[in-house]
Structure 1
Amino acid sequence: MKPLVQVAGHACPLGLASVDTDQLIPARFMKRPRSEGYGGFLLHDLRRDEAGAEKPDFPLNQVPWRDAPILVARRNFGSGSSREAAVYALADHGIRVVVAPTFGDIFASNAVKNGLLPAVIGEAEAEELLAVLTARPDCLMLVDLEACTLSWDNRAVPFRIDPVWRGQLLNGWDDIDVTRSFSADITRFKAATGQARPWIWPADA
């Protein structure tokens, strides 16, 4: 997994609350192999009309937000089912950070495991940010995971993330890598336990 330290660029204001995983990627598209990419199906039924044409007023269909690496939404983002494909759709579209006041628990965990940062900010800050981005589409943002801040213009807002998840993203670690990071502690524990309770280890063949 690629480490995530800073992400800079445009931020798309998605002024919706309780965007669920079925909205992020409708189930009918999950029959396709991941190798084909899920980015084109992100928020499909919100972004497109019944004929499949893009809705011009939807933020992700507009320049400069079409290729924005940062998405800003309202509370309860990623609620609903546990489908990891919702994160695949965001990641394959090129989004590396989602900013919201709250996230679905399973979605947030899946996001970190796929190198996507779920940055938690207060509701007042989210509303401020959505207003700024809507009024000024060219506004650029810097997301700094080391400092845990979102910055634009002369404004900086702190965000929250679980410290273990932060370490995983900064280092590009999956769950196995996290365990390996404690290898020295594990070795010391094994040696001490072997001396104190040698009977717990299997006898040599």
Structure 2
Amino acid sequence: MEKFTTLTGVAAPLPVVNVDTDMIIPKDYLKTIERTGLGKGLFADIRYREDGSENPDFVLNKPAYRKAQVIVAGDNFGCGSSREHAPWALLDFGIRCVISTSFADIFYNNCFKNGILPIRVSPEELAMLMDDAERGANATLTVDLEAQTIQGPDGGTIRFDIDPFRKHCLLKGLDDIGLTMEKRGAIDAYEARLAESRPWA
């Protein structure tokens, strides 16, 4: 998993409440178990027209936001079914951070396991960040995980809270497998002792 330390990137405004996982990645894209290639399906039902052409009114199709790395979204982001394809699609598109007032628990947990930083802020802070994100190409935010701060284009800073263990995992780039591999020495030693004490097993 890629480490998350400091991210400076364009923030796309998505002032929609209850963005569910089916909106993030429609069910038609769930046939694969590959984590790559899902970026093209991100928000597909509202990003594309029925004929497959791009919807020019959708934020990620606008020139200023095509390479956005941050989404500033309405309340309860990631609700709905517990599909891990949702963070996979965001990550494959290039989104590394989602900022909202609240997240669905399963989506929130899945983000950390895939190298995406979900940040909870107050409604007042979200309004300020949404205003920053609506500046088009000038909508650049800097997210510093170590310092737990978000800096806006005018230099204003917002602090955010995060669980220390989850922060550690993101900073080190550790998913569940990575955490297990950190204990490889102890695991190998245990297996060696077991093989010596129970050679018949």
Do the structures match in fold with TM over 0.5? yes
Q: What per-residue deviation string (whole Å, max 9, x for no partner) do you get for residues 42-82 of structure 1? A: 00111122222211111111121111111110110001111
Q: For the residues of structure 2 that align with 1:35 and 1:148, how far apart are their CA atoms?
A: 28
Q: Which has the larger radius of gyration?
A: 1
Residue pair 2:65, 2:136 contacting (<8 A) in 1 also: no
TM-score (norm 2): 0.86
The answer for the alignment partner of 1:28 in structure 2 is 28
Count of residue pairs brought into register by the alignment: 192
Q: What per-residue deviation string (whole Å, max 9, x for no partner) do you get for residues 82-114 of structure 1? A: 100011110000111111111111101111111
2:164 alignment partner AA? P
1:157 alignment partner AA? I
1:204 matched to 2:159? The reply is no
Q: Unaligned regions of 5+ residues in structure 1, if any?
A: 191-200
The answer for the alignment partner of 2:18 in structure 1 is 18
Residue pair 1:79, 1:107 contacting (<8 A) in 2 also: yes
Residue pair 1:23, 1:44 contacting (<8 A) in 2 also: yes
The answer for the alignment partner of 1:196 in structure 2 is none
1:178 matched to 2:179? The reply is yes
RMSD: 2.4
Which range moved further: 83-92 or 32-41?
32-41
Instruction: Give the drift of 1:136.
Output: 5.0
Q: For the residues of structure 1 that align with 2:58 and 2:179, how far apart are their CA atoms?
A: 39
The answer for the alignment partner of 1:193 in structure 2 is none
The answer for the alignment partner of 1:126 in structure 2 is 126
> CA 1:173 to 1:36, structure 2 compared with 1: closer, same or farther past 3 Å?
closer
1:159 matched to 2:160? The reply is yes
Q: Unaligned regions of 5+ residues in structure 2, if any?
A: none
Q: For the residues of structure 2 that align with 1:45 and 1:165, how far apart are their CA atoms?
A: 32
| SS of corresponding position for 1:143 | strand
Q: What per-residue deviation string (whole Å, max 9, x for no partner) do you get for residues 5-31 of structure 1? A: 011011101111110000000001112
The answer for the alignment partner of 1:115 in structure 2 is 115
Instruction: Give the drift of 1:178.
Output: 3.4
TM-score (norm 1): 0.85
Q: For the residues of structure 2 that align with 1:161 and 1:116, how far apart are their CA atoms?
A: 13
The answer for the alignment partner of 2:98 in structure 1 is 98
Quick one: percent identity of the two aligned structures? 39
Residue pair 2:72, 2:133 contacting (<8 A) in 1 also: no
